[in-house]
Structure 1
């Protein structure tokens, strides 16, 4: 009789199928561990999202602690074409009467006309020095004069280029009209102290006192008998104005320091005073209060979504039942709905327009908030007071400190995330160990069933041999 069994002998034993099914049974714990890893990773991602939103809320709260938020100012002018202005945080609010009697200007000189493109005709040099004129008397500044060489063959254009390259504090150009050239020189800066003197010298170094010929035409200096050389088109002057009747001046057309934090930009002489108004900037703190409410609402909404249970689908969100998440929500709600620092005009956020809704979010009542902005110092105190203790601190300061602590090293959020990372690492290590064990089991099963397949083949061969022998014996007996 032949020894037979499905898949045995010459039909072959399906070792792969057998081992695969056995390994699948052994691997069921790995599937459970992998599912656990996915859940932990999802929880870590959820906490990462909350941590980011908590940081956003911290930043929004911190911006309400910034003094510049509440000290912001705006400025306007009743005659901006004559007097414009800029303002910095903390400038004293008020209306200022500004009259402009003179604009700052730079000194400008022009030479006598010469034939266009003709040479100056004599060699020498021009010594240029910055300083201040008082009538026909010049007082040099602290900087030494700068010398510009003049060749007899130089045209006015050559000389203008050399002056510009000398960096002497004046700018030169040539104006051509009707076949005639004129050298125009201007001070690089406005202001009475930025006037200039140009002394001419011949090629022996002797001062030229005759301003009618050669290099002398390009002088502008007083040699005792009056100013010689170029004509004066415009004298260097400071700007002059009055602010609330007080005289002020500047070497430029910008007046600073007359009113702390206010810069006046003078653009025209006025015939009647311009009113410059500095008022509190409510747009900046309003936008930051709104940003604070938005950041808080995003965080609260996320916590609510991540901790909910959907009875219809019987599905729990990633942080459903997570006491750290619900504790975070409770703590924030207590800060937001709690009383502000004692002794202030405003005691709760609802009084200034941040009203708590049924779902825990904040709704900004713009009418209330706008009214509170008129009393910005008390509104600032509600948000930013620094009383030294949580109860005496402003609400934004409490929120910032809470968020900073929760996200900081050892804080609730950071600790929760760290613990989850540790759990994930441990779980993944268990998966690796299990996979290593399964690999050993798989190798052993392959060896066993391959051996069984070989043995069955041998037994079938022996069975065939025995059957043949029995048949032979039966024939012999007959």
Structure 2
């Protein structure tokens, strides 16, 4: 609002014009600023948007937990153990068949390595030419090299390149080897090692020497002549006496669904055991209980009424929040089939009874003793949650409940509809606020203009009155 520091001179100098204008403008803005007005309505709506956004996230978490109970892999958990895990470790994927077998490791996988003869003097140029690195396999006695499908890598060496320069070029070439320098009492040596293990990942280094003589002990040929090589090996083991091999120390799917890793050679058989693991099922059921309780607690808090303060929480009495809570509680009461396990209580998921004077709030609790007893027949518990294997996607408890959460989360479902309702309300609120604010701004400008004009007029009249008074006084004195 504009300041009228000099306004009011014509009105007598003691008129609070600013106060008069502010009072009029505030009266126009009252629908925005009053208790329960547009400003508070917008804040309340935004708080509800945040609350339902939290509920949506929790329903999504609940839906995910139900997904684990409907998934086949959620019921096919297995444990895999090794009698000597420091020598052979093991893991298994869900659904792997329970089994037991013995493993003996004859040798671990090894990468090919080689070292050149000593080059003297050290740190001097080696000689110009081209190095050629090929990836492939060595076999037979004596060893013969068979190149693989990978393209050979050619490395140009200049007349000024030292052994360190050559090692750097090899490492930067993208070849499947690493190069390092060994310094000993006799000079420098080039050490190469394949980046991967296994017989198929061997390599061959050959030289085209610029001096025109290949295979001698001068120039670039010195990197090959007199070098020694340790050839690559596959890891070799036996499973129940049957020979198996792997390019690495990891034997994946040698036994279906099972991966065992050789850590050292063995002298005695290592026993690998794969068994059903019901702890994963229990963890998934507990995850469902935890997710449901978090959502139920949030809904309880948001719809609560405090008798001591006679005040309600944000969504106390809100029909949408109550509908959501009732929908979820009805889903909990689903009765499944005609078997021994027909509801959650039968598998050990019970409503918490509260303590003392506390009444049940709808929270769930997993009775471990009752659950473990039900899991004596894991197929029956599985059928309760998933339905029979030849049934429909809505035969099991988890499948039915997940159907409820899916509808709530759908693009046209409960939360989407609620979000649109609140969005429309906020847009209307913003429009109404803008309309009233514009009206108040126009009133302020109008009143300012009118008071300014009145003040100017009154200032002129006051000046005229002062002049007339002066003239009368002068005339009286002249008589």
TM-score, normalised to structure 2, is 0.71
Q: CA deviation at 1:273?
A: 0.6
Q: Distance in 2 between matches of 1:332 and 1:178?
A: 80
Instruction: Say whether the 8 Å CA contact 1:126–1:219 is kept in structure 2.
Output: no
Instruction: Say whether the 8 Å CA contact 2:179–2:193 is kept in structure 1.
Output: yes
Q: Distance in 1 between matches of 2:317 and 2:133?
A: 85
The structure with more radius of gyration? 1
Report the more deviating stretch, 355-364 or 78-87: 78-87
Instruction: Say whether the 8 Å CA contact 1:352–1:369 is kept in structure 2.
Output: yes
Q: Distance in 2 between matches of 1:127 and 1:451?
A: 98
The alignment status of 1:356 with 2:351, answered yes or no, reads yes
Corresponding residue for residue 298 of structure 1: 294
Corresponding residue for residue 226 of structure 1: none
Q: Distance in 2 between matches of 1:403 and 1:19?
A: 56
Instruction: Say whether the 8 Å CA contact 1:297–1:361 is kept in structure 2.
Output: yes
Q: Distance in 2 between matches of 1:381 and 1:431?
A: 57
Q: CA deviation at 1:430?
A: 4.4
The alignment status of 1:394 with 2:400, answered yes or no, reads no
Distance 1:371 1:235, change over 3 A: farther
Structure 1 portions without partners, runs of 5+: 1-8, 221-228, 466-478
Q: Distance in 2 between matches of 1:159 and 1:428?
A: 72
Q: 1:179 aligns with which of 176, 183, 186?
A: 186
Structure 2 portions without partners, runs of 5+: 1-10, 353-359, 469-479
**Could you say what secondary structure the match of 2:259 adopts?**
strand
Distance 1:416 1:103, change over 3 A: closer
The alignment status of 1:320 with 2:324, answered yes or no, reads no
Instruction: Say whether the 8 Å CA contact 1:76–1:85 is kept in structure 2.
Output: yes
Q: Distance in 2 between matches of 1:121 and 1:442?
A: 92
Q: Distance in 2 between matches of 1:159 and 1:42?
A: 68
Q: 1:265 aligns with which of 261, 275, 280?
A: 261
The alignment status of 1:383 with 2:385, answered yes or no, reads yes
User: RMSD in angstroms over aligned alpha carbons?
Assistant: 5.4
The alignment status of 1:237 with 2:233, answered yes or no, reads yes
Corresponding residue for residue 191 of structure 1: 198
Q: Distance in 1 between matches of 2:129 and 2:54?
A: 78
Corresponding residue for residue 355 of structure 2: none
Q: Distance in 2 between matches of 1:349 and 1:274?
A: 42
Q: Distance in 2 between matches of 1:422 and 1:103?
A: 68
Q: CA deviation at 1:78?
A: 1.7
Q: CA deviation at 1:136?
A: 1.4
Aligned residue-pair number: 450
TM-score, normalised to structure 1, is 0.71
Report the more deviating stretch, 269-278 or 149-158: 149-158
Instruction: Say whether the 8 Å CA contact 1:97–1:273 is kept in structure 2.
Output: yes
**Could you say what secondary structure the match of 2:101 adopts?**
strand
Q: Distance in 2 between matches of 1:175 and 1:377?
A: 63
Q: Distance in 2 between matches of 1:288 and 1:426?
A: 45
Report the more deviating stretch, 161-170 or 57-66: 161-170
Report the more deviating stretch, 262-271 or 313-322: 313-322
Distance 1:36 1:388, change over 3 A: same
The alignment status of 1:70 with 2:70, answered yes or no, reads no
Q: Distance in 1 between matches of 2:328 and 2:397?
A: 14
**Could you say what secondary structure the match of 2:254 adopts?**
strand
Q: CA deviation at 1:360?
A: 0.8
Instruction: Say whether the 8 Å CA contact 1:33–1:427 is kept in structure 2.
Output: no
Q: Distance in 1 between matches of 2:447 and 2:402?
A: 61
Q: 1:274 aligns with which of 245, 270, 283?
A: 270
Instruction: Say whether the 8 Å CA contact 1:15–1:450 is kept in structure 2.
Output: no
The alignment status of 1:88 with 2:56, answered yes or no, reads no
Corresponding residue for residue 141 of structure 1: 147
The alignment status of 1:33 with 2:37, answered yes or no, reads yes
Q: Distance in 1 between matches of 2:132 and 2:19?
A: 105
Instruction: Say whether the 8 Å CA contact 2:119–2:222 is kept in structure 1.
Output: no
Q: Distance in 1 between matches of 2:58 and 2:280?
A: 22
Corresponding residue for residue 106 of structure 2: 101
Corresponding residue for residue 132 of structure 1: 138
**Could you say what secondary structure the match of 1:276 adopts?**
strand
Instruction: Say whether the 8 Å CA contact 1:138–1:197 is kept in structure 2.
Output: no
Q: Distance in 2 between matches of 1:14 and 1:178?
A: 103
Corresponding residue for residue 415 of structure 1: 417
Q: Distance in 2 between matches of 1:334 and 1:348?
A: 12
Corresponding residue for residue 7 of structure 2: none
Q: CA deviation at 1:448?
A: 9.5
Distance 1:13 1:216, change over 3 A: closer
Q: Distance in 2 between matches of 1:174 and 1:343?
A: 76
**Could you say what secondary structure the match of 2:70 adopts?**
coil
Instruction: Say whether the 8 Å CA contact 2:209–2:219 is kept in structure 1.
Output: no
